Structure formats: structure tokens, C-alpha cells
Amino acid sequence: MNSRPIILVCLTTVSNQNQAREMARALLDQRVAACVQIDGPIESHYRWQGEDCCESEFRLVIKTSVEQKDRLREFIRDVHPYDQPQIVTLESVDVEAGYAAWVNEETTGRRV
């Protein structure tokens, strides 16, 4: 049986640094995330409602436990300023065991 440690990395974007910081703080305060990194500004190119768009955004890279996946998605949908937020969740392929244990402890209260 493979007992490799697993964490989730979730990506979302917002339109400005203040929104990113507020969301990061709320995610940490609610223990939905162990760590949130903010990148930006980045340039996002996309099509929305039939129009080509190019916007400056800030990306949040959110680290959480597998147990928090549904809660994280719901939390982002509830607080996100966009009508249709980007919520892309990736499962780790290879993560340092100590880091995974810390992420799990911060988000579940249990060290795995």
C-alpha cells in the first residue's frame, strides 16, 4: 500500500492585491488553508461572454489538506468577488512528508 503524503494546491485569481490579501487572511483565519502565496500582477487573457479580455490579476496559490477540499471550494465561491471564479485544485504528486504533515495539522488540527 502506498502511503505517500498528499496535499492539495488550489489556484484562484482576483483583480487586485487587496482582494488577494483579504482572501488569504480569511482562508488562514478559518483554517481552510495552511499557506497562501500571492503572485502578481499577472496578465490573464481569456474570453468572457463572447469577448476577448486581457486583465491584470493576482493569483493565489492555496495549500490545504484533502479533507478541506469541499470546504475550500465553498469558501472561495462565497467570498470571491467574481461571478465565476477560477477554482482549480491539484493533488500533489510528490510532497515532502514534513510539509504535508504541517499542512494537515494546520487545516485539520491533526498531524498526519
Q: Model's pTM, two decimal places?
A: 0.92
**61 domain residue, yes or no:** yes
Domains in the chain: how many in total?
Answer: 1
CA–CA separation, 68 vs 91, rounded Å?
A: 12
**44 domain residue, yes or no:** yes
User: DSSP for 12-53?
Assistant: EEESSHHHHHHHHHHHHHTTS-SEEEEEEEEEEEEEETTEEE
**85 domain residue, yes or no:** yes
Over residues 79-89, the mean pLDDT reads 95
CA–CA separation, 13 vs 44, rounded Å?
A: 9
Over residues 17-24, the mean pLDDT reads 98
Q: What is the CATH number of the domain that holds 18?
A: 3.30.70.120
The residue segments making up the domain with residue 61 are 8-108
**3 domain residue, yes or no:** no
**20 domain residue, yes or no:** yes
Identify the pLDDT of residue 112: 62
**2 domain residue, yes or no:** no
**76 domain residue, yes or no:** yes
The pairing of beta strand 8-14 with beta strand 35-48:
unpaired
**1 domain residue, yes or no:** no
- Band (51; pLDDT cuts 50, 70, 90): very high
